[in-house]
Amino acid sequence: MPVCAVRPRYQRTQSPKMTTKLLTTVSAAIEAATGIALIAVPELVARVLLGAGLSDSGIAVGRVAGFALLSLGLACWPTADDATPSAVYALFAYNLLAAFYLGYLRVSGEFVAFLLWPACALHAVLALLFARPAYGRVSAAKVAPANKQ
């Protein structure tokens, strides 16, 4: 007589893991969208993020920053296989520096807009999430040559 496999009534599903490719895609999309917003309406972005207006020269610099963020997002967009190590390093460094600077602006009291803390927190979380893939790839790269000898 065959033994029937008993199937549990409720199967546990594993929660989806944040892969490096997904993390890179999310971060690149955020930066590209911010870049597009800065290109289109730099004064609105400055008012919402910093609580301050921009002069004519500030608008020009804001648009150039928008070009840079859009370029960063496009350059770091992952390929079909995975995110490149240079994209991971670039997004880690950018998010870490952005988190520190936005936090500094808020703590120093220079700017008090309501989206400054959330933007700082978002960049800090992204930097923390990128830290492991960035340093894990460095460690793996150092171990690989040692194993070949």
Dump pLDDT digits (tens) for 108-134.
988 888 899 999 999 999 999 999 998
Is 5 a member of any domain? no
Q: In whole angstroms, what is the distance from residue 83 CA to residue 68 CA?
A: 20
Is 3 a member of any domain? no
Report the Cα 72 to chain-centroid distance in Å.
11
Is 28 a member of any domain? yes
Dump pLDDT digits (tens) for 53-100.
999 999 999 999 999 999 999 999 988 888 889 999 999 999 999 999
Number of domains in the chain: 1
Dump pLDDT digits (tens) for 28-64.
999 999 999 999 999 999 999 999 999 999 999 999 9
Report residue 85 as tokens: 């190590």
Is 89 a member of any domain? yes
Is 66 a member of any domain? yes
What's the pLDDT at 15? 46
Give me the domain span that covers residue 112: 20-136
Is 111 a member of any domain? yes
Per-position b or e across 127-137, b if 16+ CB within 10 A of its CB: bebbeebbeeb
Q: What is the pTM of this model?
A: 0.78
Q: Which residue has the higher pLDDT, 145 or 59?
A: 59
Is 130 a member of any domain? yes
Is 47 a member of any domain? yes
